[in-house]
Structure 1
C-alpha cells in the first residue's frame, strides 16, 4: 500500500467503506506503476532507433528486427535506403511491369521456335547421315579388332605396336582383295569391248534383225545417234559419274580406315571418359556391363570374319578343282558377301553360280549344288559353334533385328543389327529384369 501525500486529509474512519476505498486506491497505484503514461504522438518523422553495441566485438547494430546490420565501432550507422524508390530518382523509365510469360503471342513464338529448331536438327542429321554411318562403322570395326590387339598385348607386345600390326594386316587384306578383283574385271571389260564388232556382225547376219532393220531403220537411227554426239555425251556422262562414284568410295574407305585407327588407339580412354559420366555409385557395375557388351561385339565381329574366311577358302578350293576361271576373285566375292547376315551367303552363291552358268552349264549346276550343301553346313554346324561364345540372341530376334537394320541402313545396318540386339538383350537381362523383380 502506497503512503499518502503529506497534504492529504484523512477520511473519517468508517468501518467497511474506509477499507474498500483504501484497497481501490492501492490497485490503481499498482496499475499506474506497470503501464507507462501515454503521451501525444510527436509530429514529424520518427527518430531513428539508437544503435546498440555488440558486447563481444564493440560493433554497433543499426536498424531494427531482422533487418539489423553491423556497423564497425567508431563509425556512425548509415540510414537505410527506402524499400521502394521514386520513379524519378532510381528508375528514370518507370517501374517495370510484369513479364509476358503467359501471353498467347509469346507462347506461340516459343512453340514456333522450338519446331524450327527441331526441324533444323533433323535436316542436319539427314545431311550428315553418311558421316554418321562412317563413324558408327569405324567404331564397330575398332571394337571388333580390339580383342586381337588385347591378345597381342597379353603376349608382351606394346599396345601401339599391336595396333600397328593389326592395322597393317587389315590394309594387306584390302590390297589383296583389290589385286584379286581388279585384274579379272578389267580383263573381262577388255574382252567384251574387243568382241563387240563380232557381236554386231552376228546381229547383222541374223534374218530377223535384217527384217526389223528394213521395217524400222534400226541401223540408220543407231548410226545417226552415234554421229550426232549423243552417244559420246552419254558415255562421257557415264564415265564422269563412274569416276565420281569411285572417288567417293576411295575417300570413304580412306576415312573409314583413319577413323578405325583413331578409335582403336583411343578405345581405353573413351571407355574411361564415358564411365566418368555415370554416377560413382553405379560406375563399377556399368563398367562391367559395358565390358561384357564390348566383348560380345568383338566376339561377333571375329566370329563373322572367321565364318567368311572359311566360306571363301572352301569356295576357292571348289572353284579351283572345278576349273572355274578367276577362282580367287569369285571366292573373295563369296567371303565379302558372307559378312552380311541372313542374305549375304545367298547373294554370293547366286553371283558365283551365274558366272559359272556363263562359262558352262555343268559348271553352273556344280556351283549350285556346292553352295546349297555348304549353306546347310554353315547354318547348322559352323555358325552355332563359332557364335556360341560371342553373342546370345534368339534366332527370331536375330532375324527381326537384321530386317530392321537392313531397312534403316542397308547392308551396314544388317551387319550392325545383331550385336546391337545382343547388347540390348544384355541390358534388359542385367538391369531391367532385376529391377522389375524387386517391385
Structure 2
C-alpha cells in the first residue's frame, strides 16, 4: 500500500494536501450533535403541547366559565353551610340542600309573582304611552313655552316605546320559559356548586396534600380570605337588595303607583341598585321615577325622588358601613375599575363577580411581599394604621356578624 501511495502523481498529492489544509480543524463531537437534536425535538414537543393546550382551553372555555361561576357561588354558600352545621349539627350536604331549597322557593315565588306583573306592566305601558307623552308635552310647554314633541313625533315615539316594551316583556318571558341551553348551564353550575360546597374540607385536603407545609399555610390563608370576601359580599348584597326593594315597594305604593307597577319596579330597583356598583343606585331609581312621573304626576315623582335620596344616605351611612364595609375591604377606585373590567370580560356576571375577586387580589397584595417604611414625613403622616394579621380583622368581624343571622337568640 505504501508503494501504491508513492506512485500517485505529484499534482494529486498536492491537491489532497491543500484540501486537508482548508478543511475545518475538527467537527462537532457526537454528544453535542445528539444534544442539539434533543433540544430541537423538545422545543417542537413543547410548542405542540402549548398549541394543543390552547386549543383545548378554547374548546372548554364555556365549561371552564361555568366551573368558575360554580366556584364563586360555592364560596358564597360556605359561610351559610358552616353556620348551619355549627348551629344544628347537620351534615354539610344537608345544609347545602336547605340553602338550595330556600333559593328554589324564592325563585318560584318571584316567577309566580313577577311574570303576571311583567305582562300587565307591558300592557299598561303600551296602552297608556300616548297619554304619558301628552302629559309630558303639556308639562314641558308650560315650563318652557313650546312643546317637546309635535303630534307626529309623539305618535312615532309612542309606537316605538310600545314596541320596545312589548319586545322587552317577550324577551323576559322567553328567557324564563324557554332555553334548553340555559337550563343545562344552570344545572351544571348548581351541581358543581353543590359538590364544592358540600365537600369543601375534602377538596382542601386533596389540594393541600400536594403542597409543602409553608405553601399549605399560604394556600389556606388565600382560601379562607376568598370565602370571607365572596360570602360576605354575597350575603351583604342580598340583604341590601331585600331592604332596598322592600322599602322601595312601600314608597311606590305611598306615592300612588298601582301594584302592577310597584312590584316589578321595586324588584328591579333593589337588584340593580345593589348588585351594580356605584351607578346602580341611579339606574335603579331612574326607571321608577320616570314611570311615576308618567303615570301619577310630577309631585308624586318628586316625592319618590326625595325618598330615593333619603334612602341613599341611609344606605351609605348606616346600612353599608355595618354590612358591606365590614365584609369587604376595597378601595373605591379599585372597585369601580374591577367592575368595569369584569363587565368587559364576562358581561353582567363578570361585573357581579368582580368586586370580591378584586378584594381578594387586594388582600393578597397587601399581605404578601416585602414592604418598607415610608421616609417622607408628610406622606407617612397620612398613612392609616394597619391591623396586625393575628388579630381578627374587619373581614372576620363582618362574617361573624352575618353568621349571627343564622343563630337562635339566647334567652
Give TM class, smaller chain: 0.5 to 0.7
Match of 1:386 in 2: 323
Please tell me whether residue 154 in structure 1 is matched to residue 90 in structure 2. no
Cα offset for 1:127? 4.8
- In the aligned structure 2, how far is the partner of 1:279 from the partner of 1:96? 38
Q: Could you list the per-position Cα deviations for residues 370-389 of structure 1 after superposition, in whole angstroms to 9, with x for gaps in the alignment?
A: 22332233233321221233
- Aligned residues of 2:232 and 2:328 also touching (Cα < 8 A): yes
| Greater RCO (Cα-Cα under 8 Å, separation 6 or more) | 2
CA change 1:352–1:292 in 2 (3 A) is same
Deviations 1:99-134 (A, max 9, x none): 483599x689939x82x7655644554454443332
Q: Residue 141 of structure 2 corresponds to which residue in structure 1?
A: none
Pick the structure with more helix per residue: 2
1:184 maps to 117
Task: State the alpha-carbon separation in 2 of the partners of residues 103 and 283 from structure 1.
Answer: 37
How far, CA to CA, are the matches of 1:284 and 1:191 in structure 2? 60
Task: Check whether the contact 1:138–1:256 (CA below 8 A) recurs between aligned residues.
Answer: yes
Query: Any stretches of 5+ residues in structure 2 without a counterpart?
Result: 1-29, 132-149, 153-165, 374-411
Report the equivalent of 1:306: 239
Q: Residues of 2 paired with 1:183 and 1:195: CA distance?
A: 18
Show the counterpart of 1:398. 335
Residues 107/241 of structure 1: CA separation in 2 closer, same or farther (3 Å cut): farther
SS at match of 2:193: helix
Q: Does 1:273 align with 2:209?
A: no
Q: For the Cα contact (< 8 Å) 2:78–2:227, is it kept in 1?
A: no
Q: Tell which structure's C-alpha radius of gyration is larger.
A: 1
Aligned match of 2:44 = 110
Q: Give the secondary-structure state (helix, strand or coil) at the position aligned to 1:259.
A: helix
- Pair 1:156–1:307, CA change in 2 (3 A): same
Pick closer, same or farther for the CA change 1:171–1:375 going to 2, 3 Å. same
Rounded Cα–Cα distance in structure 1 between residues aligned with 2:85 and 2:172? 45
Q: Which moved more, 1:249-258 or 1:297-306?
A: 249-258
TM-score (norm 2): 0.63
Report the Cα distance in structure 2 between the residues aligned to 1:182 and 1:240, rounded to whole angstroms: 12
Shift of 1:429: 2.7
Tell me, in whole angstroms, the C-alpha distance in 2 between the residues paired with 1:321 and 1:422. 39
Report deviation, 1:330: 1.8
CA contact (8 A) 2:70 2:189 kept: yes
Are the aligned partners of 2:244 and 2:270 in contact in 1 as well (CA < 8 Å)? yes
CA-CA distance at 1:168 after TM superposition: 0.8
**2-side partners of 1:163 and 1:240: how far apart?**
32
Residue 135 of structure 1 deviates from its aligned partner by: 1.9
- Report how far residue 323 of structure 1 moved: 2.6
Task: For 2:171 and 2:252, locate their aligned partners in 1 and report how far apart those are by CA, in whole Å.
Answer: 36
Q: Distance in 1 between matches of 2:356 and 2:191?
A: 23
Instruction: Quote the residue 1:54 is aligned against.
Output: none
* Match status 1:348 vs 2:281: no
Shift of 1:147: 1.0
Partner of 2:20: none
Partner of 1:164: 97
SS of aligned partner of 1:432: coil
Q: Report the counterpart of residue 20 of structure 1 in structure 2.
A: none
State the Cα distance separating 1:185 from its structure 2 match.
1.6
Q: Is the 1:177–1:332 Cα contact (8 Å) retained in structure 2?
A: no
CA distance in 1, matches of 2:38, 2:196: 50
The counterpart of 2:356, out of the listed 409, 415, 419, is: 419
- In the superposition, relative to structure 1, how do residues 140 and 126 fare at CA in structure 2: closer, same or farther (>3 Å)? same
- Confirm whether residue 135 of structure 1 aligns to residue 79 of structure 2: no
DSSP 3-state at the match of 2:370: helix
Q: Deviations over 1:385-418 (max 9, x none)?
A: 2123312222222222222222222222222222
Q: Distance in 1 between matches of 2:32 and 2:220?
A: 53
CA gap of 1:127–1:284, structure 2 versus 1, over 3 A, is closer
Please state how far the C-alpha of 1:296 moved relative to its aligned partner: 2.6
Per the alignment, residue 360 of structure 1 pairs with 296
CA contact (8 A) 1:401 1:421 kept: yes
8 Å contact from structure 2 (residues 342, 350) kept in 1? yes
The change in CA–CA distance for 1:314 and 1:299 in structure 2 (over 3 A counts) is same
Q: Measured at CA, do residues 208 and 336 of structure 1 come closer, stay the same or move farther in structure 2, by a change above 3 Å?
A: closer
* Conservation of the 8 A alpha-carbon contact between 1:402 and 1:418: yes
Deviation at 1:190, TM superposition (A): 5.1
Matched-pair contact (CA < 8 Å) for 1:293–1:426: no
List structure 1 segments (4+ residues) > 6 angstroms apart after TM superposition.
Answer: 192-196, 239-242
Q: Which runs of 5+ in 1 are unaligned?
A: 1-94, 199-206, 210-234
Separation in structure 1 between the aligned mates of residue 291 and residue 55 of structure 2, nearest angstrom: 43
